[in-house]
Structure 1
Amino acid sequence: MNNIKYLIWSCLWIISMTSCKKMDSTYKEYVVPSGIVYPGKVVEANFKSGLNEAQLNWNRGSDPKVTKARVYWNYYKDSIDVPMPIDQSNVSCTIKDLEENFYTFIIKTLDDDGHISVPVEVSGGVLGERFKSSLSNRTAAPKVNIDNSVSITFTPVNSTSDLVKSEIEYTSVNDQVKTVTIDSNVNSILIDDYKLGSTYKMRTYFMPETAFESIVSSDETYTITKLNKQEWKIAGYSSFYNTDTPAKMIDGNPATRWGTLSPHVYPHFFTVDFGVQRTLSSFSLWRQTPSNEEGPNEVQFLGSDDNINFVDLGNYPFNRQSSAEQIYQLAEPKTFRYLKVRQINGPKAYVVMGEFDVTAKF
């Protein structure tokens, strides 16, 4: 019995050895006698985008034989070589002229003998004109002061915003082109040498989390047509009720109201003093928002230089059922220091209104 078991095991051993020899013969041509040499691969590779650019950064690793890296993209159709000096631990390269798209970059290191490391992949989206066109300038409200300086107020920037800063490029009274920078934490500036009647350009810089440089919005051109209402005064009025003073008409908030006394009847009026003569091109009125319909049906505008003698600028309809700004454009600009707004008739004996403004020409 033992002889039979021995004979069976002997046959199995012979078959196994024969198979192994055949396998060795099959793969012999693919075996490298001294083994395959792989240079040390790059470490901690990462990707950042610029405008139609990609920046790759990595640590060179500890292999002293590595002399350069080769970066591939577009499915190995494009590549560049990046030197990796032994004394430079951090390495970076910038790839320019890329289309706005998502890319996978493959990084391999090489030594002087031509050995190539295992690949390291890093991916990311390259920003381009589509992204740039989606950027909006920071909202700004420029106003001309009595002394002809310009105040610009900006909307506050959310702490999570990518907005870094804005630039305003303007023409000075000496016809010099100047640029002022407004950091994201600054909400207002004063320009005391602005050439009134000229335009200014604005651009805004953004730093997305995936970017290595700021992406700048396109320049936009603006014209200043508003006056600083905080410097205006009420120079006359027909009446007001309780705390509903005519000063509420120039406080910048249509939700506050001027209301006249109920015993008084139409016409009602208030007069605004701009502080200096201004060339006016349009007037604006709001009812008290959002839904007060106790405004007039008809209004009249009158201009004056002394608050005594007034020039009739015309009668206009007022839609007391609308909360929108109602704009009245003059056929040609007129220059006055005082502007009287009269309410001619309406559904009640008294009147309630929300806000008044003008646009000026310089």
Structure 2
Amino acid sequence: MINNLKKKSAKALVFGVLASIILCFSCENTDLVETFDQYIPESVVSLAMPDSVAVVQTDYNKVLFKVYVNSDPKIKKVVVALFDDDTTDDDDKIVTTIDVNRTIYQPEIYEVELDLPEGGNEYFIHIEDSEGKQSIKYDVFGSVLGDAFKESLQARQNTGATIYSDSEAIINWTSNRDTNDDGDIIIKNNLLIKTEISYTSSVDGSELTIVVDESEDATIIPDFISEGTYTYTTFYKVDVDSPYVFESNPTEGTFPVKI
């Protein structure tokens, strides 16, 4: 009889523990579902957010948005929006949309170049399907270069044009090369690309242009007009790896009197 009581007590204890565990999981699962429904609505998680977004300066007041998307066949649109600090609504200011007509279902890059005012801004990029369901927003900061940036670019320094021969002038440039303590030659400004000199020919009055590489320290100019004017503009990259070039405002100089 005692053994039967012990067996019944043991069974009751096991049942109680199992019931508690089931109840615990049930509560936790309910909490998770409620949290999921509250903070991650279905319309947000139906699509994956962009894998990455690059904002590239391509010209003055122009930027290129490069949006890397996954292979989801439901993707129909990419939306680029400007961060809106207006707290009276939840809407972002849409800058542009990119229609996606997929012929292959693998990761792809979609690009769009935009004209935008100068300055740095925060952008939100999301993906939409044919029903308008949205992915989570991808947050990225981008800078647009304009007049203020152009004013900051200086034409390459030089000593001015001096006489080199009876028909030639020479401009000596501040060197873009230096030597370190080990005797190695280093580039001072690796964003400097070239300088272009424009002037009028003394022979036939045509407009001539000489391209001066960043490595050159002196430029000989033939057929110049005595005391005539010339302009020079220097070209830079924004980033060492960027294929895009930005030029300074032109600077005017005066040729010397011919001998």
Q: Distance in 2 between matches of 1:163 and 1:63?
A: 42
CA distance in 2, matches of 1:31, 1:218: 52
Residue number in structure 2 paired with 1:98: 117
Pair 1:87–1:171, CA change in 2 (3 A): farther
The answer to whether the 8 A contact 1:66-1:111 is kept is yes
1:220 aligns with 2:251: yes
Equivalent residue number for residue 190 of structure 2: 161
Q: Which residue of 2 aligns with 1:42?
A: 50
Shift in alpha-carbon separation, 1:36–1:206, aligned structure 2, 3 A: closer
State the 1:212 CA deviation: 6.0
Change (3 A) 1:41 1:58: same
**How many residues are aligned here?**
226
Residues 137/12 of structure 1: CA separation in 2 closer, same or farther (3 Å cut): closer
2:119 counterpart SS class: coil
CA distance in 1, matches of 2:217, 2:39: 70
The answer (yes or no) to whether the contact 1:38–1:118 under 8 Å persists in 2 is no
Deviations 1:296-315 (A, max 9, x none): xxxxxxxxxxxxxxxxxxxx
The match for 2:164 is: 145
Task: Measure the CA separation in 1 of the matches of 2:44 and 2:80.
Answer: 22
Q: How far apart are 1:118 and its partner, in Å?
A: 1.5
CA 1:85–1:167 in structure 2 vs 1: closer, same or farther (change >3 Å)?
farther
1:94 and 1:23 mapped to 2: Cα distance? 45
Note closer, same or farther for the CA distance 1:222–1:65 as it changes in structure 2 (3 Å cut).
same
Q: What does the per-residue CA deviation read over 1:91-119, in whole Å, with 9 as the maximum and x for residues that have no partner?
A: 21222132323x11111111222221111
Contact preservation (8 Å) 2:224, 2:255:
no
Q: What is the aligned partner in structure 2 of residue 185 from structure 1?
A: 215
Specify the SS of the correspondent of 2:210.
Answer: strand
Say which one has the larger Rg.
1
Structure 2 residues not aligned, in runs of 5+? 1-8, 85-91, 177-186
Following the alignment from structure 1 to structure 2, what is the Cα–Cα distance between the partners of residues 146 and 35? 76
Residue 206 of structure 1 aligns with an amino acid whose one-letter code is Y
Quick check: 2:164–2:220 contact (8 Å CA) kept in 1?
no
2: CA distance between counterparts of 1:107 and 1:186?
44
2:93 aligned with 1:77: yes
Shift of 1:361: 7.3
1:30/1:58 CA distance change after superposition, 3 Å: closer
1:138–1:36 CA distance, 2 compared to 1 (3 A): closer
> Does residue 86 of structure 1 match 2:115?
no
**Distance (whole Å) between structure 1 residues aligned to residue 43 and residue 64 of structure 2:** 35
Once the two structures are superposed, residues 199-223 of structure 1 have per-residue CA deviations (whole angstroms, 9 ceiling, x without a partner) of: 0011111111186632211111101
Deviation at 1:42, TM superposition (A): 2.1
TM-score (norm 1): 0.51
- Report the RMSD for the aligned CA atoms in angstroms: 3.9
SS in 2 for 1:132: helix
| Structure 1: gaps (5+ residues) | 226-359
Letter of the aligned partner of 2:133 in structure 1? Answer: H
Q: With the length of structure 2 as denominator, give the TM-score of the two structures.
A: 0.69
